[in-house]
Amino acid sequence: MTKSPSSGLTRRGVLTAFAATAVAAAPSYSNAAGFLRGGGDVRRLKMYSGRTGERIDTIYWIDGGYVGEALHEINVFMRDWRNGKAINIDVRNVDIMAASLRLLDASEPYMLLSGYRSPETNAMLRSRSSGVARNSLHMKGQAADLRLESRTTAQMARAARSCAAGGVGRYSGSNFVHMDCGPVRSWGG
């Protein structure tokens, strides 16, 4: 849409107004869910793991409700690959990941680098790196570290931040973005 001399509207203005309306109208606990409402009443998540070789492409929400079997599949997929332990992944984080992927209009699945981390794994990683939080949201099933080959970390972080639903960490040097359903905040570059 080009700027119309009579209306003063621009494509960016219309899209900004639409996005603001979608977020404000979302009846969910998470703004991310508002971005998922536009494509019908279906929510989908696609990921693969370079660590295990596993892939997931699942519809986890249909007709106003979560699909238990699909959530279980996500829980198992996002398990601590080092020791096989799994917990229930917070659906708010699943919504943030799915909304961000949809906003990016990417056909490829996320590469999952880290989902759930057991306390033992988190302690081991902390002993090796100062960048691992003592009380990491990964240990609560509320965080994921993700990569897309077709998108930059800046693009991924921008999409996740636009959900205004949790924390977004951009790790350009390691080529991944951290998304969580904790307090809204952002870091990295």
Question: How does DSSP assign the chain, residue by residue?
Answer: -PPPTTT---HHHHHHHHHHHHHHH--SSSHHHHHHGGG-SEEEEEEE-TTT--EEEEEEEETTEE-HHHHHHHHHHTS-TTT----PPPHHHHHHHHHHHHHHT--SPEEEEE----HHHHHHHHHH-TTS-TT-GGGGT-EEEEE-TTS-HHHHHHHHHHT-SSEEEEEGGGTEEEEESSSSEEEE-
**What pLDDT, on a 0 to 100 scale, did the predictor assign at position 10?**
45
Structural domain range at position 176: 12-188
Q: Does residue 31 lie within any of the structural domains?
A: yes
118 forms beta bridges with none
* Structure tokens belonging to residue 147: 């990569």
Classify residue 129: in a domain, yes or no.
Answer: yes
Domain contains 3: no
CA-based torsion, 137, 160, 108, 67: positive or negative: positive
Distance separating alpha carbons of residues 88 and 122, to the nearest angstrom: 17
Per-block average pLDDT, block size 10, for the chain (189 residues)?
43 42 39 54 92 96 93 98 96 96 94 96 89 90 96 97 95 96 93
Q: Which two tokens stand for residue 70?
A: 């699909």
Instruction: Count how many domains the chain has.
Output: 1
Residue 4 lies in a domain: no
Residue 37 has a pLDDT of: 54
- Provide the pLDDT for residue 132: 84
Is 6 among the domain residues? no
The pLDDT, as a whole number, for residue 133 is 84
Report if residue 17 sits inside a domain: yes
Q: How far apart are CA 142 and CA 70, in angstroms?
A: 17
* 98: phi then psi, degrees, rounded to nearest 5: -65, -40
Per-residue confidence (pLDDT) for residue 9, from 0 to 100:
45
Say if 2 falls within a structural domain: no
